[in-house]
Chains A and B, each alone.
Chain A
Amino acid sequence: MTAAASQSAGQAATLRVRNLRVDYFTDAGRLRACDDVSFELGPGQRLGLVGESGSGKSTIALALMQMIRPPGKVGGQVFVENDELTAMNDAEIRSARMRLIGMVPQAAMSALNPVIRVRAQIADVLQVHEPSLTSAQVRARIAEVLEAVELRPEVANLYPHELSGGMKQRICIAIAVALRPKVIIADEPTSALDVVVQRQVMDTIGRLQREMNIAVILIGHDMGLMAQFVDHLAVMYAGKLVEIGPTRELFARPTHPYTHMLISSLPTLGQKGVFRGIPGITPSLLALPSGCYFRTRCPHAMPVCTERAPETTSHGSDHASACHLADVEGGLAGRIAIEAGSATVRAGGFE
């Protein structure tokens, strides 16, 4: 799918991903965790990558960082501005990681080394990438990045176990922005935190993103957080990108049933006690259904969905999705309206 999240003002994209594929070769067969994913991200843009566990969102993060290890294999191209990460050798990619593309890992608790002080963990990334720095300069830079993530400079002397969950996540953010990368990938940075701390951590990421004009990819499964934080949204299902577009547009007019169900599965302050989960489970990547991968859980599945995989259809300049409903008059919205109508008729008939 090639939907460009950045076509505004004709500026060069910060991150370009073209036909990214990740295959794992296991004893049970080939497993495609990321299937032909393409997107672009402009400077200072925020893209959300959503999907259930096992949909391939963390695989994309690892593939962008060129951190997929055998038996995994990456295909396709990843560019950060004009540097092609996928064409670099080991030494080059080591220097590119954290300098061009930084990462805030999912579990801050296990990302930090428990027996080393915070100072040394931040110094590590600085000294590896900028060996010419004097120790006084390193100390100044550490204080600077800690201030950027709203922590007191004394925190550098602490061990990870002395920090709260929110503080640990802030340290990880400090490490990710220490070299002022062009792109940051935040892989569920707040899934272990409670709402108030989550909001504070996201505020910090948002402020740094604006100040340093970093492009951010936020990975997660909380559509509420996405609605509040990102300007573009990409929805993954079983390794495929099923819909991509501006957040506002996706929430107002989703064109893929999965996006629609993800949005409506969230509780709001509206009707109390109404639960709308997505029935069924994600198919195993080793035993994918024929045609469209979502058809086994899709309430709108048609005969054609079993026969072939849907093509990507564009719905406007930067909104695209892969669903056969695009060929049906009225699309998904029309289908939902018809089904809501017939449900009312049925209910009326019984009474």
Chain B
Amino acid sequence: MSALLELRNVSKVYRSGFFSPRTTVALDDFSLTIDQSRPSITAVVGESGSGKSTLGSLLMGFIAPTHGDVLYMGKNMKAISAAERWQFRQDVQAIFQDPFAAYNPFYTVDHVLTVPIRKFGLAANREEAREKMGDALRKVGLRPEEILGRYPHQLSGGQRQRIIVARAMLLKPKLIIADEPVSMVDASLRATILESIYTLHKELGISVLYITHDLTTAYHVSSEIIVLYKGSVMEGGDVASVVKAPQHPYTRLLIDSIPWPDVDLQWGREPVIRDDGTSPTTTKGCKFASRCPHVMAKCRETAPPLFMVGDTQASSCYLSDASPAIQRSELQRVLEPA
């Protein structure tokens, strides 16, 4: 196996305030490998403040980790050469949440496609560039004649987001990091955007890291899932196992809170304990302890390790302590079973 990107025991700590500094652990001892020989779609799910966007920024090289290492093709990101960084910028593409903010309103939408073509020298001449743009747009289900030459405000949010998907594809990347790509798009259009991301993965073998708070769409597009809460992995593994048989109380709460489009399904059977904002992210114990209905004394003292509840599922909760424990850095074992 050859790792495209690897996070090794990565933590990101933010400090704020001058006289009374407050420490926020955005990501805590997190390890993940994105393999290039085996394209996958991995969903990272969590609520606001879970560290999922911090994870995305670390992988894109926007921020550096406080502890641990980010490796690109086996080399530490801190020490890679300019040429390697250039290659990295082509290999790893991003799709962001806001399809409105991604555009400069003064340029036509062609701009977001022509810039990467020029920068990375993807086309020899104008005709070839135009052809490539057309192909990319058709791949995501858009008609180039309806799109090219228009200004961002003339297109719908769904169309704009699909152009961004087309741009990500244009560079033939190995990994696309999609940070909440559909949360600002109408529910009826979400399916079409996710479908185009899914098609890219299937047809071009691109790996996708799908960052979201929506477990339903995560279930549909991804093969593996990681559930984060306050920077720590709560549960991870094969998406069907985790969603259909969640072992961690937090995953259960997330699934229980989804409003299913089915009038016979009762919404929210389990009561929610509200986060009173008192439990800091720097706690030594389990981060979910203050909201957990099954909390025990030991939960507040030491954080549980990952317990392998199955070949393809691990839960970080003492409720599963009958299963064998693994290191946090071994999360990969349940994400890609041998």
Contacts and interface: CB of A to CB of B under 8 A. Distances in A.
Contacts, number: 123
Contact of B215 (A53, A195, A273, A278): A195
Interface in A224-257: 224-229, 247-248, 251-252
Contact of B268 (A203, A267, A275): A203
B246 to A, nearest CB: 12
A263 B262 CA distance: 9
B188 A265 contact: yes
B243 A224 contact: no
A268 B195 contact: no
A195 B260 contact: no
Contact of A199 (B48, B157, B158, B272): B272
Given A53-B157, A274-B220, A196 B191 contact: no
Nearest to A229: B259
Contact of B219 (A228, A269, A275): A269
Contact of B47 (A197, A222, A228, A281): A197
Contact of B48 (A150, A194, A226): A194
Interface string B254-270: 10011111110101100
B187 interface: yes
Nearest to B213: A194
B274 A200 contact: yes
A202 B190 CA distance: 23
Interface residues of B, number: 43
Contacts of A252: 263
B259 A222 contact: yes
Interface string B194-228: 11001000000000000001111101110000000
Interface in B227-245: 240, 243-244
A129 interface: no
B189 A52 contact: yes
A200 B244 contact: no
A223 B219 contact: no
Contacts of A228: 259-260, 265, 267
A195 B213 contact: yes
A277 B189 contact: yes
A12 interface: no
Contacts of A281: 156, 158-159
Contact of A225 (B48, B221, B243, B259): B259
A194 B187 contact: no
B216 A267 contact: yes
Nearest to B217: A267
B261 A224 contact: yes
A196 B257 contact: yes
Contacts of B240: 272
Interface string A196-232: 1111101100000000000000000111111111000
B295 interface: no
A165 interface: yes
Nearest to A165: B48
A262 B188 contact: yes
A325 B218 CA distance: 36
A277 B195 contact: yes
Contact of B254 (A195, A221, A223, A269): A195
Contact of B220 (A194, A198, A273, A282): A273
A247 B263 contact: yes
B253 interface: yes
A221 B188 contact: yes
A111 interface: no
Given A150-B274, A194-B47, A228-B267, 17 more contacts: A53-B186, A196-B257, A199-B257, A199-B268, A202-B259, A221-B186, A224-B258, A227-B259, A227-B260, A261-B188, A266-B216, A269-B216, A269-B219, A272-B240, A277-B189, A278-B188, A278-B189
Interface of A: 52-53, 150, 164-165, 194-200, 202-203, 221-229, 247-248, 251-252, 261-263, 265-269, 272-279, 281-282
12 contacts: A53-B156, A164-B277, A195-B47, A202-B259, A222-B187, A223-B187, A227-B259, A227-B261, A262-B188, A266-B187, A275-B191, A275-B194
Interface of B: 47-48, 156-159, 186-195, 198, 213-217, 219-221, 240, 243-244, 253-254, 257-263, 265, 267-268, 272, 274, 277
